[in-house]
A and B are shown apart, each in its own frame.
Chain A
Amino acid sequence: MKEDVSLRLDQCLLRFMDQLELLEEKREKLNSLIEQGWFCISKARYAMGNKQVSALQYSNEIVPQVCVHVRRVSNGEMEFGTERMDRGPSEDTTNTPRQVEEVGPVDEGVRRRKTTTAKDSKAQSNASVKPVAEEEASVNKGSPGHQDPLKWFGILVPQSLKQAQSAFSQVIELSAEVAALQTAVLVTRKELQTLMEEKHKAAQGKEKGKGS
């Protein structure tokens, strides 16, 4: 009985050590990727200006592009997996034609000189307002729900900011793995504790048996 518990305890301890080693390895990778990301942000800030890469540039509407799927495994451990969400049909280049962004002022076409009477001009103004309103509505419908966060900082951002984005994307994926490992470590620790208690009880029972 005691040998069986000791064997299980040894196996559990070895697993625990392996998990800790893996956690340390992933942590090191995570930390170096974060550092790389900061370095790229600093480079972008140097290129764009001190106040161009800050919290002030965050959009008013922020939609998540990454989510975590959490799943409980049979022995109590958790699995964390990241998933990138779809960027919406407007950003899908393969199926739909890309919407061309208009940079200049939006004009309604040719303007007429004020040569007509007041009544006519009223009727004209009503007629001209309607299509513009419709146009705006259609533009709003077509605007992407998921805006790339890179665009918060400008249309032409430096390469270093893109590198920062890719570094942090990797960090996000890695952080899910680290979170899963952390829970695994805690579960194994609990298992070890219960096994140790079992072993102590078995040892105490043996001593009592010898004494009597």
Chain B
Amino acid sequence: MAGRGKLIAVIGDEDTCTGFLLGGVGELNKNRKPNFLVVEKDTSITEIEETFKSFLARDDIGIILINQFIAEMIRHAIDAHMQSIPAVLEIPSKEHPYDASKDSILRRAKGMFSAEDFR
């Protein structure tokens, strides 16, 4: 694992996962654990959060791609993640276009321009 670099994990709807898997990011490891989660209508928020946390805990994952509407469901977990590895990227989904004002990174960057900083 050390020699070949890190993986890209995906948490998204079916089309997003299919697309990224077509691109070649998918992996099923020796324990048959995938590095992706297809979120369907009946997928619970707990399951999404647990998967996200398990991806954060894995040291072979470098980037986590997550649909923004799913990121909204587990915003607290994403905001709590302060490390630079794995990097969390919020991407749009078919039904929900990307909204920069919801992105946790941009919100953090925007937060520094509060009135308090310019006193």
Contact = CB atoms under 8 A, between A and B. Distances in A.
Contacts of B18: 41, 53-55
Contacts of B23: 66, 149, 165, 168-169, 171-172
A55 B38 contact: yes
Contacts, number: 134
A178 B89 contact: yes
A25 to B, nearest CB: 12
Contacts of B63: 68, 80, 175-176, 179
A135 interface: no
Contact of A31 (B5, B17, B98): B98
Contact of A192 (B24, B26, B28, B112): B112
Interface string B20-37: 111111111000001100
Interface of B: 4-8, 14-28, 34-35, 38, 62-63, 65, 84-85, 87, 89, 91-92, 94, 97-98, 100, 105, 108-109, 112, 117
Interface of A: 16, 20, 24, 27, 30-31, 34-35, 37-38, 41-42, 53-55, 58, 60-70, 78, 80, 83-85, 149-150, 161, 164-165, 167-169, 171-172, 175-176, 178-179, 182-183, 185-186, 189, 192-193, 196
Contact of A165 (B22, B27, B35): B22
6 contacts: A62-B27, A64-B27, A70-B5, A189-B108, A189-B112, A192-B112
A contact face: mostly helix, strand, loop, or mixed = helix
A161 B22 contact: yes
B5 A27 contact: no
B4 A168 contact: no
Residue picked from A34, A84, A176, most chain B C-beta under 10 Å:
A34
A17 to B, nearest CB: 11
A68 B8 contact: yes
A122 to B, nearest CB: 41
